Structure 1
Amino acid sequence: MSTFLSNGLVFAGALILAASLGVLQRLQATSPTATLRRRWRLLSGMVLFFIVGYLVYALIMGDENVRTAGLIVPSVFFVGACFVWLAVRLAWQMSQTLVRVDLLEKESVTDPLTRVHNRRYLDQRLGMEIARARHSRSPLSILLLDIDYFKELNDRYGHPAGDQVLDQLAQVISSSVRATDVVGRYGGEEFLILAPNTPLSDAVLLAERICEAIAARRFSTVDMQGQLQEICVTASIGVAALEQTMHEAQQLIRTADQRLYQAKGQGRNRVFPPPAQPGRVTLPRENLSEGCALR
C-alpha cells in the first residue's frame, strides 16, 4: 500500500508539473521582451528536468517496499509540484492583470476615433517636455494643425465621412513625423505635434513635409448615400518654439494657434511661419463638385 501511495504521489506531481508547462508556454508567448521569454524558457527546462527526475525516481523505487517513513520524499515531490503549479498560475494571472492595466492606461490617453494620443495626454506630455527642455536647455517646438474647410466637407459628404478623413489623416501625420515626435488629436479637426529637441526652423520643415503628405493623399470615404468617394483635403499648420519669456504651456499653445490663423488667413494649405526657402507651391482652392474638398 505504501509503495502504491508513493508512486501515486510522484506520478501526480509529474502530471502537475506537466500542466505547469502549458502555462509557461503561454507566458513565453505573451512576454513583451526577449529577456522575459528566455527566462520563461529556462524555467520550462527546469520543470521538464523535474518531471524526468520524478519519473526516474518512480521507476527506481517502484519495486521497493516503501515504509511509511519513506513517503516523506514522494510527499515533498508532490508538494513541490503543487508549489510550482501555483507559482506559475500566479505569474500568469499577474501578467494578464498587467496587460489589462496597460490596455486601460492606453485607452485613457488615446483618442478612440483616430487612435493617436488624446488632449489629456498631450497636455501632460507638453508640461513634461517643457520642464525637460528648460532643464537641459534644449529646443522644443510644437505644430498645431487644422484641416481646411472641414465644415464644408462634413456638410457635403456627412459626418461619418468626416470621421473617416480624421482617422486616415492621423495615420498620414503619424507616418510623416519622426520617432521622437508625439502626435495627438487636440480637439475637433485639430492635431498637435510635439517636436522635442527641435528648433523652429526644423519644425517648419517638418510641418511642410506634413502639409505635402496630406495634399498628396486621396482619402477614401463613404458618403451619406453609401457611395465610395475619394476626397482631397489640405491642412494649415501653425508652428511655435519654446522661448525664455514663456512661463507656461498655454503661452506656447497660444502662439501656435495665432500662427495657425495666420496660415489660414494667407490662403490655407500652408505653414506659418513659412520656411526660409519655400520649395512647395501651395495648391489653389478647388470646388467640392470636382471630387475634392475645398483647399
Structure 2
Amino acid sequence: MPSLFAFHRIKLLVLFLVANLGLILHLSLGAVKPLSIWDPLDVAGEGGSAILVLVWICLLLKSRPAGRVTTLLFAGLACLFFSLWMDVIDEFIQLPDSVRWDGWLESGPMPVGFVLLTLGIYHWHSEQLAINLQMRNRERLYREHREFDTLTPLGGATYLRNQIGSSIQQAEADRQPLSLVMLDMDTFNTINRDYGQAEGDRVLQVVTQLVLLNLREHDLLCRLAGDRFVIVLPNTLESQAKVMAMEVSLAIAHLAYRTTGQGERLVLSATTVAVMARQESAEGLLERLNLRMAQAKQMPLARSA
C-alpha cells in the first residue's frame, strides 16, 4: 500500500518546478554576485528558514491524507517557502536596477501564505474537534501517549489499570454500578501464522473500529495485550454488560473481513465475558475478569458469557 507521501508527489513536483523557474528567471536576467559581497548571516538565516519550511511541508504531506485542510496548509507553506527561496537567490544573484518584479516575488507570496495557513489551521481545528469527539471511547482525562498502543491506537494496560481505579472510585462515590467486558479474538494466532503479522495487525485495527462503533459515549475501550481488549462500562449492571458483550461478539462474527492480499474472506469470532465490580482494587477486578475469560475459553461452545 503506497504511503501518504506518495499521494502528494504532484504537489511537491509543482513546488519544485515553480522554485526552479524562479531560479532560472534570476539567472537569465542577472549575474552572480562576487563572493566578497555575500552576506553569510543573511544566507544562513534565509536559507535555514527555507529548509525548515520545506521540512514542515514534507512532514505535513507524510502524515496527512489529501483534502481541503492539507491543500490549504500545503499552499500556505509553499508560499512561505517560495518567498524565502527568492530571498536566498537574491543573496547570490544581482538583477539590473530596471528589474522591479523581484521585490514582488520576495514579499508578495508571504502574506498570501499566512492567510492560507490561517484558513488551513482554522479548518484543521474544526477537524480536530470532530476527531476528539470520536476519541472519547479511546482515552479519558489526559493524554499520556507513552501509555497508548501505537497500533490501534488505544490505551494500553497501564492506562487501563489507571482508568479502572478511577472508575471504581467514581462508582463508589456515585453509588452506581461499574462493569467490565473482556474481548479475546479466537484463532488469532492462526491468522498471524497463515497470513502474516501485517494481516493480523490489520485485523486488530478493523476490530478496534468496529467495537468503538458499538460503544456508548461514556464507555472506554483499551487494549490489554495482544488480541485481548477490555471495555470499561460506567453505570452498567452485569446483566447489561453481558448484553453488550453479546452484541459486540455478534458484530465481529458478522464482519465481512477480506485479506489485503488475495481478498479472501476471513471468518472472525471473539470470546467475550463480563463482570461487575465489587469492593476490590483494579488489579483484583482485572484478575477476576481474566479468570472468567480463562473459564470461557475452556468451553468450546461458549463464545460469550
5+ residue gaps, structure 1: 1-17, 34-103, 273-295
SS at match of 1:228: coil
How far apart are residue 119 of structure 1 and its match? 2.2
Seen in structure 2, the aligned counterparts of structure 1 residues 29 and 164 have a Cα distance that, compared at 3 Å, is closer
1:154 corresponds to: 192
Question: Which residue of the partner structure matches residue 270 of structure 2?
Answer: 235
Distance across 1 between alignment mates of 2:290 and 2:173: 25
Worse-matched range after superposition: 256-265 or 210-219 = 256-265
> 1: CA distance between counterparts of 2:255 and 2:210?
8
Q: Tell me the amino acid that sits aligned with residue 207 of structure 2.
A: L
> Equivalent of 2:298, from 265, 275, 281?
265
Separation in structure 2 between the aligned mates of residue 241 and residue 229 of structure 1, nearest angstrom: 39
Shift of 1:147: 0.6
* 1:135 maps to 2:173: yes
Residue 27 of structure 1 deviates from its aligned partner by 6.0
Equivalents in 2 of 1:257, 1:268: separation in Å? 18
- Is residue 119 of structure 1 aligned with residue 154 of structure 2? no
In structure 2, C-alpha distance between the alignment counterparts of 1:257 and 1:211, rounded to whole Å:
17
What do the CA deviations read for 1:136-156 (whole angstroms, capped 9, x no partner)?
Answer: 111000111111121122222
The 3 A distance-change label for structure 1 pair 30 and 155 is: closer
Q: 1:145 aligns with which of 183, 202, 222?
A: 183
**Root-mean-square deviation (Å):** 2.9
The aligned length equals 183
How far apart, in 2, do the equivalents of 1:111 and 1:192 lie? 13
Structure 1 length-normalised TM? 0.55
Measured in 1, the distance between the counterparts of 2:154 and 2:187 equals 22
Give, in whole Å, the separation in 1 of the partners of 2:204 and 2:118: 42
Distance 1:32 1:227, change over 3 A: closer
* 8 Å contact from structure 1 (residues 139, 197) kept in 2: yes
Contact residue 161 and residue 283 of structure 2 kept, 8 A: no
| Structure 1 segment 265-284 matched on structure 2, within 5 A | 265-267=298-300, 270-272=303-305
Provide the rounded CA distance (Å) in 2 between the counterparts of 1:220 and 1:117. 27
SS in 2 for 1:211: helix
Residues 35-54 of structure 1: pairs in structure 2 closer than 5 A: none
Q: Is 1:190–2:225 an aligned residue pair?
A: no
* Shift in alpha-carbon separation, 1:200–1:227, aligned structure 2, 3 A: same
- Going from structure 1 to structure 2, the CA distance change for 1:125 and 1:268 (only over 3 Å counts) comes to farther
Equivalent AA in structure 2 for residue 266 of structure 1: M
Q: From the superposition, tell whether residues 162 and 28 of structure 1 become closer, same or farther in structure 2 (CA, over 3 Å).
A: closer
Q: CA separation in 2, counterparts of 1:263 and 1:30?
A: 45
In structure 2, do the counterparts of structure 1 residues 267 and 32 end up closer, same or farther at CA, with 3 Å as the change threshold? same
CA distance in 2, matches of 1:268, 1:190: 19
Cα distance per residue 1:35-57 (max 9 Å; x no partner): xxxxxxxxxxxxxxxxxxxxxxx
- Name the CA shift for 1:32/1:128 in 2 (closer, same or farther; >3 Å): farther
Q: 1:252 to 1:197 in 2, by over 3 A?
A: same
C-alpha distance after superposition, 1:140-188 (max 9, x if no partner) = 0011111112112222222211111111111111111111110111100
**Equivalent-residue separation in structure 1 for 2:264 and 2:289 (angstroms):** 33
